[in-house]
């Protein structure tokens, strides 16, 4: 008996800001197969390929999902290349060099009871239009009844390490002590190799056999305290970590302070001397006002929107990049680094921004670089298990009633500017910014804030998120 890719519609899995996400229980073998068949079907008229690459993160559910995807690849008459547990950008980079599509099994930073699938065409990450094509596909296929064995090909891991170690001389980081906060990151076995080959002494920290949902955009107070303690205990110069699938960096300077992702991106873009940027509207306004770039385009939140803007930037600028408030850095064009050509990688990457900022701060440290650009400060957090429908209701009823919403959230002030590019971004009379947005990956309401001090930005987020949970929308 055959089934069709309409299995996707009944699975409960949905596309978010980056990839398809859902509960592990929703990613049945047939649901994974349906997504795989639909993806392959959606690009066969655009590309010629005989292989599809696949890799996973360290979630307990990821291997079985990969097996189901691989079986679907085989049933499509194609060869599957399995690269094991590696970072998403490592998989994407290798597949792009081979001009083949790939699938990453990962839920990124969301809790371990959820998972996801990220899809890449031979030329890079899929677009929102591609997502719709996958959802609209109607392909018949044989249900998955047996799962194939997984045999790891090491090529993609090796290519990713070489991508960065080939840029600089081997002794570049000599004398530096770098801590790698490993937890359950998909790249935890590769990062020590990269920094060691560049001459650093690497100390591996807090490796975990259980999945740890690190969100680089909402760093916990516990992880902030850990960084300070590790810096002192191990006498470190730098701490590097990532989210679950290794596409978002988490970097601490020589003082043990975690850098905000958009500030890390700004420093990396400056160090690389790029002409233009594409960044989500949630990023710190100092980026747009820095005067460092010929153009800064603001997009909706999510890497597909940043990538879509690259088509516009490519028409005018030879060197362009994108990055997000979560720290993920997207290299839109080939670029010269230290006299070597670094190939474009238009998907989130964690290693490039960390390495470039580390190199930029070799003499005087990273903290002074941060201080030079930190005239505005941001903070963000989210309410978990907050129904998406509730979030949307709040934003819909707040339209035209923004000052009333602020009053209900504890702030007696006027709204001077409203931006609805993605969610509701309100500029207050004192230039503070409050930005509410439903998460595209999970039932969460996110709050981003910007002010003239770290403390004020943090207080804005805490106050808004505490008030919004009991908000009576009938008062709007």
Task: Please write the tens of the pLDDT for every residue from 34-78.
Answer: 999 999 999 999 999 999 999 999 999 999 999 999 999 999 999
Task: Please write the tens of the pLDDT for every residue from 225-248.
Answer: 999 999 999 999 999 999 999 999
Report residue 284's pLDDT band, with 50, 70 and 90 as the boundaries. very high
Q: How far apart are the first and last CA of the chain?
A: 53
Whether residue 128 has pLDDT greater than 80: yes
Structure tokens at 74: 């085989």
pLDDT score of 306: 94
pLDDT score of 132: 94
Task: Please write the tens of the pLDDT for every residue from 161-176.
Answer: 999 999 999 999 999 9
pLDDT score of 443: 86
Pick the more confident residue, 51 or 219.
51
How far is Cα 308 from Cα 62, in angstroms, rounded to an integer?
Answer: 29
Tokens 């298990």, residue located:
385
Q: Per-residue pLDDT averaged across 300-310, rounded?
A: 92
> Residues near 77 by Cβ (< 8 Å), separated by ≥ 6?
none
pLDDT score of 219: 82
> Residues near 392 by Cβ (< 8 Å), separated by ≥ 6?
438
Whether residue 279 has pLDDT greater than 80: yes
DSSP three-state, residue 156: helix
pLDDT score of 290: 92
How far is Cα 85 from Cα 57, in angstroms, rounded to an integer?
Answer: 5
Q: Per-residue pLDDT averaged across 204-217, rounded?
A: 89
Q: Where in the chain is the domain with CATH 3.40.120.10?
A: 3-153, 166-373
How far is Cα 7 from Cα 324, in angstroms, rounded to an integer?
Answer: 33
Kindly give the pairing relationship between strand 345-349 and strand 433-438.
Answer: unpaired
DSSP per-residue codes, 293-361: SSEEEEE-SSHHHHHHHHHHHHTT-SSEEEE-TT--EEE-S-EEETTEEEPPEEEEESHHHHHHHHHHT
pLDDT score of 328: 94
Whether residue 440 has pLDDT greater than 80: no
Q: Per-residue pLDDT averaged across 242-258, rounded?
A: 96
Mark whether 108 is an active-site residue: yes
The answer as to CATH 3.40.120.10 being correct for domain 166-373 is yes
Residue 46: CB atoms within 10 Å: 11
Task: Please write the tens of the pLDDT for every residue from 308-353.
Answer: 999 999 999 999 999 999 999 999 999 999 999 999 999 999 999 9
pLDDT score of 475: 84
Task: Please write the tens of the pLDDT for every residue from 94-115.
Answer: 999 999 999 999 998 888 899 9
Task: Please write the tens of the pLDDT for every residue from 380-397.
Answer: 888 989 999 999 999 999
Structure tokens at 418: 């409203």
CATH number corresponding to 3-153: 3.40.120.10
Beta pairing partners, 433 = 427, 450
Whether residue 429 has pLDDT greater than 90: yes
Q: What mean pLDDT is reported for the chain?
A: 94
How far is Cα 469 from Cα 335, in angstroms, rounded to an integer?
Answer: 46
- Over its C-alpha atoms, the chain yields an Rg (Å, rounded) of 22
Report residue 1's pLDDT band, with 50, 70 and 90 as the boundaries. confident
Determine contact, residues 42/130, Cβ cutoff 8 Å.
yes
Report CA-CA distances (Å) from 196 to 132, 241, 278. Answer: 43, 15, 32
Among the options 29, 108, 241, 380, which is catalytic?
108
CATH number corresponding to 377-475: 3.30.310.50
Give the alpha-carbon dihedral of 127, 129, 134, 138, to 10 degrees.
-160
Give the angle 44-47-49 at the CA atoms, nearest 5°. Answer: 85
């Amino acid at each position: 008996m055959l089934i069709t890719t309409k299995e996707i519609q009944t699975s409960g899995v949905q596309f978010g800001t980056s990839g398809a996400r859902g509960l592990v229980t929703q990613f049945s073998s047939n649901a994974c197969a349906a997504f795989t068949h639909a993806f392959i079907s959606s690009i066969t008229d655009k590309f010629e390929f005989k292989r599809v690459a696949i890799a996973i993160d360290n979630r307990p559910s990821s291997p079985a999902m990969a097996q189901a995807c691989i079986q679907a690849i085989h049933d499509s008459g194609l060869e599957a290349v399995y690269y094991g547990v590696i970072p998403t950008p490592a998989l994407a980079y290798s597949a792009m060099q081979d001009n083949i599509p790939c699938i990453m099994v990962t839920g990124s930073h969301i809790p371990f009871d959820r998972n996801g699938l990220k899809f890449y065409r031979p030329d890079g990450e899929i677009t929102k239009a591609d997502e719709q094509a996958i959802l609209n596909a109607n392909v018949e296929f044989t249900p998955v009844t047996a799962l194939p064995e997984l045999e790891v090909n090491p090529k993609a891991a090796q290519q990713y390490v070489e991508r960065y170690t080939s840029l600089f001389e081997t002794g570049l980081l000599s004398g530096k002590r770098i801590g790698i906060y490993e937890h359950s990151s998909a790249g935890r076995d590769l990062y020590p190799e990269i920094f060691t080959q560049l001459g650093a002494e690497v100390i591996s920290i807090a490796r975990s056999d259980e999945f740890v949902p690190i969100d680089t955009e909402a760093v916990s107070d516990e992880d902030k305290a850990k960084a300070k303690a590790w810096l002192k205990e191990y006498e470190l110069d730098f701490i590097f970590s990532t989210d679950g699938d290794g596409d978002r960096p988490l970097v601490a300077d020589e003082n043990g302070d975690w850098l905000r992702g958009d500030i890390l991106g700004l420093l990396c873009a400056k160090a690389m001397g790029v002409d233009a940027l594409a960044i989500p509207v949630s990023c710190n306004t100092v980026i747009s006002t820095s005067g460092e770039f010929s153009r800064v385009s603001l997009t909706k939140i999510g890497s597909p929107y940043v990538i879509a803007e690259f088509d516009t930037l490519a028409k005018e600028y030879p060197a362009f990049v994108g990055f997000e408030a979560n720290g993920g850095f997207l290299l839109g064009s080939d670029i010269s680094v230290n006299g070597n050509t670094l190939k474009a990688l238009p998907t989130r990457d964690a290693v490039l921004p960390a390495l470039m900022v580390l190199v930029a701060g070799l003499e005087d440290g990273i903290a002074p670089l941060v201080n030079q650009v930190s005239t505005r400060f941001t903070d963000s957090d989210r309410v978990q298990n907050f129904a998406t429908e509730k979030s949307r209701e709040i934003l819909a009823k707040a339209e035209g009633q923004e000052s009333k919403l602020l009053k209900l959230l504890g702030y007696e002030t006027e709204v001077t500017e409203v931006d609805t590019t993605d969610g509701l971004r309100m500029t207050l009379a004192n230039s503070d910014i409050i930005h509410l947005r439903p998460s595209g990956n999970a039932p969460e309401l996110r709050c981003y804030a910007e002010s003239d001090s770290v403390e004020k930005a943090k207080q804005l987020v805490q106050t808004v998120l505490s008030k919004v949970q009991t908000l009576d929308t009938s008062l709007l």
